[in-house]
Amino acid sequence: MSGLGKGITTASIGRLLKNRGYLVTAVKIDPYLNIDAGTMNPAQHGEVFVLSDGGEVDLDLGNYERFLDINLTSIHNITTGKVYRNVIEKERRGDFLGATVQIIPHITDEIKHCIHCAAEEAVNGGKVADICLVEVGGTVGDIESMPFLEAVRQMHGELAPEDMILVHVTLVPMDTMGDFKTKPTQHSVKALRELGLQPDIIVARSSDVLGPEAKKKISAFTDVPAKAVVSAKDAADIYQIPMELEKEGVADVVCNYLSLENREPDLAWYRLVSQEYTNRVTVAVISKYGIEDVYMSIKESLKHAGRALSTEVKIRWLDAEAFSDHDLADVDGILIPGGFGKRGVEEKIRAIRYARENKRPYLGLCLGFQLSVIEYARHVLGIPDATSEEMGEGTHVIAILPEQEGVNDLGGTMRLGNCDITLKEGTMVAGLYGRTTIVERHRHRYEVNPAFIADLEAAGLVFSGACGPRMEVCEIPEHPFYLATQFHPEFRSSPTNPSPPYLGFVAACKKNKSSPGER
Ligand code: GLN
C-alpha cells in the first residue's frame, strides 16, 4: 500500500549494499497512466522531483539520489504511460509484423525491456551497476499494477535464482494490547502468491521493533525464513533507517540470496548522518499546501546543511494564506519555495519584504526568486504594480521565457533540468560555491524580464549568477543573508554533498540566532 515507506526501504537497502562497495542503481515503477509526474498535482502525489536530464519524476527518485549518491535519468522512472506509448509507437511503425498487440506479451515485454535498459545505464557516467533495485509502486490487486507484477513474475522465471530477489514491504499494525497483528501481512502475501510471486524477504513496517515471536509467526504463514523477516519501525529521521536495517541483518540476507560476498560495511555514512546536534534553529517555510511531502527536497536539503553544521533545523510550516508578521518575528530564517499560480503570492511577497527590511536570513527558490525581484521592484525601485506575467495585469518584471511563447502542452515543456550557470566573482553566492561555474536543475516558464535588469541593479539588487541572458541568482550585499535562485539547488543536495545555498542559509540562521543584536 502507498505511504508505507517502500521508497525509503528501497533506498536504504541500496545504501547497505553501497556501503559494502557494490555499485547500485534504482528504478521506480509508477503504475499510473501519466507519462511522468510533471502534470500531477503535488497536493496528491507530493513533490515533482527534477532529474539532471530534465525528467519530472516521482519524489522517490529524489530519495534514491540522496541515499545512493547517484544521478538518475528519466528512464529510471517507468510509468504505464511511457510503456504504452512505446508499444503503440512500435505498433504504428509496424514492428510487430502483423501480430495482435496484447498486454501479454507486448506490454510485459516492454516493461522488462525498460527495466533492463535502466539497469544497464552506466552509474554517474561510469560503470554499469552491480545491483539494480526496482521499486514497484501501487498496491497488489490494483488493475494498473497487474501488468507490472506479471512482468516481474516473468523476469523471476527468466533469471537465475541468485540474480533476482523479491522484497515485500508490509504493514504490521499493533492492537490496543500492544500485540503485533500479522494478519494483513498474511493476506498480502497470499494475494502476491495468487499472482505467482513468492517474496524472499518481508520488511515489516510497524510502530515498534518486531520481536522473534512475531517474526516466527509471519515466517510460518509465508514460507519466508524468520531471518528474512525484517523489522522496520517508524523512524524520526529517514537517514537512520539504513543503520536500523543494518542491525536487522538485511545485508547478510540479501547478499546470501544474490550469492554476493557480504563484505565488511564502510561505516562512514552512518557516522555522517548521525552527527550530534549542538545547536537548533527555526526556519519558516511559507507553504501553499498543507502537506510536507510537497517540499520534500527542501526539507531534506535543510537537514543536510543542518547536519553539516551540527545544527538541528526545525521547520515552521506557515500557511501562505493565514500567517501574520508575528509568525515571522521569532524564527531564525525565512524560506520561500517554488510554486505556480496566483494563490498565496501577495502573502509570500509580504514575507520577503519582512525578511529584507528586518534583515532576516532569507532564501528564495524559483518562484521565491521571481517574487524577490517583484518585491524589490515594487518597494525599492518604485514600480507599485510590478508583477509576473503568470499572475495577470501589471508591469511584468517577470515575463514568459521567449521559447515558452505559444507553448500549449503542459507536459514536459518547461525549462527543465541541468543548466550551466556563471557566478559573478566576489559575490556571496560565488563564495558559497567556492567557484564561478556551477550546474543546477531548473523547472520554470518565466524569467526576470531583461528590460528591467539594469534598473533593478541600479536600485541595489545584485544579479550574481546568470545563464546567458537569463538571470539565475540575486542577492543584496548590505543584507546579512539575502539569496534567491531561479534554479532549485535542493534537487542536488545529499547528506554527503549538502547544497551551498542551503549551507549558507542555515549558517546565517545560526549566526542570527546567536547574535540577534546584529540585525
Ligand atoms: N511559476 C514559476 C514559473 O513557471 C516558478 C516555477 C517554480 O517555482 N518551480 O516560472
Separation of 445 CA from ligand 1 center, angstroms? 6
Do the domains spanning 6-272 and 275-518 agree at the CATH topology level?
yes
Q: For residue 113, count other CB atoms closer than 10 A to its CB.
A: 13
Which pLDDT band holds residue 1 (cuts at 50, 70, 90)?
Answer: confident
Please give the average per-residue pLDDT across 279-287, as a whole number: 96
* pLDDT at residue number 355: 98
Fill in the DSSP letter of residue 257: H
Separation of 337 CA from ligand 1 center, angstroms? 10
Ligand 1 contact via 446 beta carbon (within 6 Å): yes
Pick from 286, 367, 373, 390 the residue to mutate for probing ligand 1's pocket: most ligand atoms within 8 Å of its CB: 367
Nearest CA to ligand 1 atom 8: 338
At residue 517, does pLDDT exceed 60? no
Ligand 1 contact via 316 beta carbon (within 6 Å): no
Please report, for the chain, the start and end positions of each structural domain, with discontinuous segments joined by +. 6-272, 275-518
* pLDDT at residue number 516: 62
Ligand 1 contact via 368 beta carbon (within 6 Å): no
Nearest CA to ligand 1 atom 9: 338
Nearest CA to ligand 1 atom 5: 367
Assign a CATH topology to domain 6-272: Rossmann fold (3.40.50)
Instruction: List, in sequence order, every residue forming a beta bridge with 482; answer none if it has no partner.
Output: 362
* pLDDT at residue number 139: 86
Q: Is the dihedral of CA 93, 98, 103, 104 positive or negative?
A: negative
Separation of 341 CA from ligand 1 center, angstroms? 8
Ligand 1 contact via 399 beta carbon (within 6 Å): no
Which pLDDT band holds residue 292 (cuts at 50, 70, 90)?
Answer: confident
96, 301, 303, 332 from 309: Cα distances, Å: 58, 12, 10, 15
Ligand 1 contact via 398 beta carbon (within 6 Å): no
Strand order in the sheet with 437-444: 311-319, 279-287, 333-336, 362-365, 482-485, 470-475, 462-467, 415-423, 437-444
Residue 275 sits at the vertex; the CA angle it makes with 272 and 276, to the nearest 5 degrees, is 175
Q: Is the pTM of this model over 0.85?
A: yes
Please give the average per-residue pLDDT across 91-106, as a whole number: 97
Pick from 352, 388, 445 the residue to mutate for probing ligand 1's pocket: most ligand atoms within 8 Å of its CB: 445
Please give the average per-residue pLDDT across 120-142, as a whole number: 94
Ligand 1 contact via 366 beta carbon (within 6 Å): yes
Ligand 1 contact via 443 beta carbon (within 6 Å): yes
Helix/strand/coil for 319: strand
Measure the CA–CA gap between 295 and 287, rounded to whole angstroms: 8
Separation of 169 CA from ligand 1 center, angstroms? 36
- Domain range 275-518, its CATH number among 2.40.10.220, 3.60.10.10, 3.40.50.880, 2.40.50.140: 3.40.50.880
* pLDDT at residue number 290: 79
Quick: pLDDT tens for 189-198.
999 999 999 9
Share the mean pLDDT of the chain.
96
Ligand 1 contact via 338 beta carbon (within 6 Å): yes
At residue 343, does pLDDT exceed 90? yes
Ligand 1 contact via 340 beta carbon (within 6 Å): yes
Grid cell digits, residue 288? 501553499
Separation of 338 CA from ligand 1 center, angstroms? 6
- Of the listed 366, 419, 467, 474, which one is catalytic? 366
Q: What share of the chain is helix, strand, coil (3-state, %, to 5)?
A: 45, 20, 35
Instruction: Let me know if 490 is a catalytic residue.
Output: yes
Ligand 1 contact via 445 beta carbon (within 6 Å): yes
At residue 519, does pLDDT exceed 80? no
Are residues 349 and 387 in contact, defined by beta-carbon separation less than 8 angstroms?
Answer: no
**pLDDT above 90: percentage of residues in the chain:** 95
Measure the CA–CA gap between 456 and 213, rounded to whole angstroms: 68
At residue 455, does pLDDT exceed 70? yes
Instruction: State which ligand 1 atom lies nearest to the alpha carbon of 337.
Output: 8
Quick: pLDDT tens for 363-384.
999 999 999 999 999 999 999 9
Separation of 402 CA from ligand 1 center, angstroms? 15
Measure the CA–CA gap between 66 and 241, rounded to whole angstroms: 13
Which pLDDT band holds residue 513 (cuts at 50, 70, 90)?
Answer: confident
At residue 24, does pLDDT exceed 80? yes
Separation of 458 CA from ligand 1 center, angstroms? 25
Q: For residue 265, count other CB atoms closer than 10 A to its CB.
A: 18
Quick: pLDDT tens for 152-179.
999 999 999 999 999 999 999 999 998 9
At residue 458, does pLDDT exceed 90? yes
Instruction: List, in sequence order, every residue forming a beta bridge with 49; answer none if it has no partner.
Output: 57
Quick: pLDDT tens for 220-257.
999 999 999 999 999 999 999 999 999 999 999 999 99
Quick: pLDDT tens for 38-63.
999 998 889 999 999 999 999 999 99
Quick: pLDDT tens for 204-225.
999 999 999 999 999 999 999 9
